[in-house]
Amino acid sequence: MFKSLQMGIFIFLLASILTMGGVGYYYWQWSQNRIETITANNTKLEQAIELSQQTVKQQQRNLEIQANRLKELNTNLNTIRKEADHMRKLLSNHDLSNLIDKKPSLMEKKQNDANRRFNEELERLTDPESYHE
């Protein structure tokens, strides 16, 4: 009776130890896998953060470049518009009919010079090489 009780306790303890060992081993393996996954995830997330930071930095740089160039473009466009306005004002401020009537040869020379200059400017403007500025 006593012996069979002892045997029962022994078997129970052995079974408990084996179960606990199995559970412990399973938990250790599971936790190792988990740590591995988490470490890999962490690395990937760090990479992703770094990549997104680089992208943001790059976008900021691009915006800065564009803003600077846009400022330059607006200045150039204003100069071009001013030049066009200047010619319009010049013509409206002078009575061409009267000037041609009074000084025909002088005006003829001026007109021809202006035409030549205009053509030269247009040629310069449309020169494909000038697009590489």
Partner 1 sequence: MSKFFLVLSMTIFLFGCETSKKIELQTKGTPINIIHPSPPSQASLEDYKVINLNNEVVLRLLYPEKTDGEIDEMLKDLQTQIILIAVTPKDYEKIINNAQEMKRIIAEQKEIIIFYKKITREIEKSQETCC
Q: Which stretches of the chain bind partner 1, using CB under 8 A?
A: 16, 19, 23, 26-27, 30, 34, 37-38, 40-41, 44-45, 47-48, 51, 54-55, 57-59, 61-63, 65-67, 69-70, 72-74, 76-77, 80-81, 83-84, 87-88, 91, 96-97, 100, 114, 118, 121-122, 125-126, 130-133
Closer CB to partner 1, 61 or 103, in the complex = 61
Written as six digits, the tokens of 9 are: 């306790």
Shortest distance in whole angstroms from residue 11 CB to partner 1? 12
Shortest distance in whole angstroms from residue 2 CB to partner 1? 21
Give the Cα separation of 80 and 22 in Å (integer). 85
DSSP assigned state of 126:
T
Q: Are 126 and 118 in contact (CB under 8 A)?
A: no
Closer CB to partner 1, 6 or 19, in the complex = 19
Closer CB to partner 1, 6 or 90, in the complex = 90
DSSP for 76-87 reads HHHHHHHHHHHH
Q: Which helix (H) or strand (E) holds 120?
A: helix 104-125
Shortest distance in whole angstroms from residue 24 CB to partner 1? 11
State the residue for tokens 């081993």.
Answer: 25
Distances (CA, A) of 84 to 36, 64, 105, 114: 71, 31, 26, 14
Closer CB to partner 1, 6 or 59, in the complex = 59
